[in-house]
Structure 1
Amino acid sequence: MYKIMIVTHGNMAASLKETLKMFTNDLEGIHTVGLNESGVENFRERLKKEVEICYEEGKGLLVLADLFGGTPFNTCVLEIKNKYENVEIITGVNLPILIESSLQRDSNLKDIVKDLQQSAKESIVLTECLGSSEDED
């Protein structure tokens, strides 16, 4: 079973994890680290400590980051992706991808990352594309 780490600017990671409780009570193996006013170096140290706590060789670690190219993402690439095996990093974290990834933690991480990416894309829907109930009559 792979672990999940949510990394974001501010409190978004913790808020996403808290919101996940509405969909599943199984939050074991889901970790959060947020970049706050204490700065990048403090974030880096907290990230390293959290990875040491949650990483299990052979199990896999899925990192869900908020922004491609942002400090949380860049720090994860430098501190996790290049130092640990079986780590995948996906940016653009949102609630649908968090729910799906948490419910599929028994799956092989390498096998599902493309599905998670596609699922995240499909979770963005323009309401004007849905039509109205009048159209269906």
Structure 2
Amino acid sequence: MFNVIVATHGNLATEFEKVLKSFFGKIDQLKVVNLGDQGINAFSQKIDQVITPCVNEPTIIFCDIAGGTPFNELAKRSINWHNQFALFGGVNLPILVETLNMRMQGKGINEVIEKITSMSALIRFDMKNAKKAEDE
């Protein structure tokens, strides 16, 4: 099994964790890090605490914004990773749900990375293609 880390601005990572726990119950090997008002130095220390036990294990890390502070702080540390590691910017709930579902099904990290990289979480509602309730 691989680790999943979510690092975001504000308390978004914690909020994702709350919703995911409502779907899955207890989730092993899920860690969250929030960049709140504590500043970059405190955030950086917290990242080090969270990732240190994971650097020898396969890990997928999700950040809210590619190029944002959480993403950049984790990208700087990628050189220290001794096992398979993937860092993504632009996290959203469907991607996290799919990642955890696939992990629970015993899928390997490579298969999960391939799947989530190809996913588009946006689904557009098109009134022209909508079926009327009576058509169903």
TM-score for the superposition, normalised by structure 1: 0.87
Q: 2:113 maps to which residue?
A: 113
Q: 2:80 maps to which residue?
A: 83
Counterpart-to-counterpart distance in 1, 2:80 and 2:128:
45
Structure 1 pair 134–104 and aligned structure 2 pair: CA distance change class (3 A): closer
Whether 1:37 and 2:34 are equivalent positions in the alignment is no
Q: 2:93 maps to which residue?
A: 95
Shift of 1:109: 1.2
2:41 aligns to what SS in structure 1?
Answer: helix
Shift of 1:56: 6.0
For residues 67-123 of structure 1, the C-alpha deviation after alignment (integer angstroms, 9 at most, x for no partner) is 0100000100002x211121101111111110111122232212321211222x1x2
Amino acid at match of 2:94: P
Identity of aligned residues (%): 23
Runs of 4+ off more than 6 Å: none
Counterpart-to-counterpart distance in 1, 2:40 and 2:93:
25
6-15 or 19-28, which deviates more = 19-28
Q: Which runs of 5+ in 1 are unaligned?
A: none
> Equivalences for 1:1-137 in 2 at 5 Å?
1-53=1-53, 55=54, 57=56, 59-79=57-77, 81-84=78-81, 85-105=83-103, 106-119=106-119, 121=120, 123-128=121-126, 131-134=129-132, 137=135
Counterpart-to-counterpart distance in 2, 1:38 and 1:73:
17
TM-score for the superposition, normalised by structure 2: 0.87
1:8 aligns to what SS in structure 2?
Answer: strand
Counterpart-to-counterpart distance in 1, 2:12 and 2:115:
23
For residues 45-66 of structure 1, the C-alpha deviation after alignment (integer angstroms, 9 at most, x for no partner) is 000001124x162x40100111
The CA RMSD measured in Å over matched residues stands at 1.9
100-109 or 90-99, which deviates more = 100-109
**How many residues are paired up?**
132
Q: Which runs of 5+ in 2 are unaligned?
A: none
